[in-house]
Structure 1
Amino acid sequence: MKTLTSLFILIITFFSASAQIYQWRGTHRDGIYPDKNLASQWDSVPPLVMTIEGCGLGYGSPTITPDGIFVAGMIDTTGYVFAYSPEGEKMWQTAYGPEYTNRFLGSRGTPTIEDGKLYYSGTFGDVICVNVKNGKVLWHKNIFELYGGEPIKWGYTESPLIYGDKLILTPGGNGYNVVALSKKSGELIWTSPIENTTNAYCSPVLIRHQNMDLIMMNTSNNLLMLKPEDGSVYIKHGLTDRRGNHPMAPMYADNQVFYSSGYGEGSVMFNTDDVNHKLDTLWQNSDFDCKLSGMIIVDGTIFGTSDRKKQWMGVDWNSGETLFESRDLKPGSFVMADGKFFMFTETGEVALAIPDKNGFTIKSRFMIPAENIIYAFAHPVIDHKKLFIRYNDRIWIHDVTN
Structure 2
Amino acid sequence: MNISRVGMMATIVAVLFTNAGAADWPQFRGPDRNGVSAEKGLARQWPKGGPPLAWTFDKLGTGYSGPAVIGDRLYVSCGRGDSEYLVALDLKAAGSPRELWATRIGPIFTWRGNDWNNGPNASPTADGDAIYALGGFGDLVCVEAATGKERWRKNIPKTMGGEVDPIGGGAEDPTPLGWGYAWSPLVDGDHLICVPGGKKGLLAALDKKTGEVVWQSKSVTDQASYSSPIVAEVGGVRQYIQVTNAGMVGVSAKDGSKLWSYRREPAYADVVIASPIFADNHVFASVGFGQGCDLIKLVPGAAGITVETVYSKNTIQNRDGGVVLIDGRLYGHSEGRGWFCVELQTGKVAWNDRNSLARGSVTAVDGLLICCAEKGGTVALVEATPAARNEKGRFQLPKESTFRQRSGGLWTHPVVANGKLYIRDQDLLFCYDLKP
TM-score (normalizing by structure 1): 0.90
Contact 2:162 2:200 in 1 (8 A): no
Q: What SS class does the counterpart of residue 159 from structure 2 fall into?
A: helix
CA shift, 1:244, in A, is: 5.2
- What's 1:357 paired with? 386
CA shift, 1:310, in A, is: 5.5
Distance 2:322 2:394 in 1: 20
Amino acid at match of 2:184: S
Residues 1:129 and 2:142 aligned together: yes
CA shift, 1:258, in A, is: 1.7
Residues 1:85 and 2:90 aligned together: yes
Residues 1:299 and 2:299 aligned together: no
CA shift, 1:116, in A, is: 0.8
- What's 1:58 paired with? 63
Distance 2:60 2:189 in 1: 30
Residues 1:394 and 2:428 aligned together: yes
- What's 2:209 paired with? 184
CA shift, 1:113, in A, is: 0.7
Q: What SS class does the counterpart of residue 389 from structure 2 fall into?
A: strand
Amino acid at match of 2:53: L
CA shift, 1:196, in A, is: 4.4
- What's 1:337 paired with? 365
- What's 1:3 paired with? none
Residues 1:74 and 2:79 aligned together: yes
- What's 1:259 paired with? 285
More moved, 165-174 vs 146-155:
146-155
Residues 1:272 and 2:301 aligned together: no
Contact 1:310 1:330 in 2 (8 A): no
CA shift, 1:285, in A, is: 2.3
CA shift, 1:335, in A, is: 0.7
- What's 1:8 paired with? none
- What's 1:175 paired with? 200
Amino acid at match of 1:215: Y
Contact 2:337 2:352 in 1 (8 A): no
Contact 1:219 1:244 in 2 (8 A): no
- What's 2:171 paired with? none
Contact 1:50 1:398 in 2 (8 A): yes
More moved, 20-29 vs 389-398:
20-29
Gaps of 5+ in 2: 1-23, 165-176
More moved, 181-190 vs 291-300:
291-300
CA shift, 1:41, in A, is: 2.1
Contact 2:201 2:220 in 1 (8 A): no
Please tell me whether Structure 1 or Structure 2 has the larger radius of gyration of its CA atoms.
2
Amino acid at match of 1:321: K
- 1:195-274 maps to which residues of 2 (within 5 A)? 195-239=220-264, 240-243=266-269, 245-274=271-300
CA shift, 1:366, in A, is: 1.5
Distance 1:66 1:212 in 2: 33
CA shift, 1:128, in A, is: 0.2
- CA-to-partner distance for each residue in 1:237-257, whole Å, 9 max, x for gaps? 113335352222222222222
Contact 2:198 2:224 in 1 (8 A): no
Contact 2:331 2:340 in 1 (8 A): yes
Amino acid at match of 1:302: L
Amino acid at match of 2:359: P
Amino acid at match of 1:75: R
- What's 1:375 paired with? 409
Contact 2:382 2:391 in 1 (8 A): yes
Q: 1:385 aligns with which of 406, 409, 419?
A: 419
Distance 2:199 2:72 in 1: 39
Amino acid at match of 2:147: N
Contact 2:315 2:347 in 1 (8 A): no
Distance 2:25 2:327 in 1: 27
- What's 2:18 paired with? none
- What's 1:366 paired with? 395
Contact 1:251 1:259 in 2 (8 A): yes
Q: 2:39 aligns with which of 29, 32, 35?
A: 35
Amino acid at match of 1:208: E
CA shift, 1:369, in A, is: 2.1
More moved, 184-193 vs 164-173:
164-173
Gaps of 5+ in 1: 1-19
Residues 1:285 and 2:313 aligned together: yes
Residues 1:94 and 2:83 aligned together: no
- CA-to-partner distance for each residue in 1:343-400, whole Å, 9 max, x for gaps? 1110121111112023431121122122477510000011111000000111100001
- What's 2:121 paired with? 108
More moved, 273-282 vs 257-266:
273-282
- CA-to-partner distance for each residue in 1:289-312, whole Å, 9 max, x for gaps? 1121211122322112112x0511
TM-score (normalizing by structure 2): 0.84
Q: How many residues align?
A: 382
Contact 1:157 1:199 in 2 (8 A): no
More moved, 169-178 vs 339-348:
169-178
Contact 1:390 1:396 in 2 (8 A): yes
Q: What SS class does the counterpart of residue 204 from structure 2 fall into?
A: strand
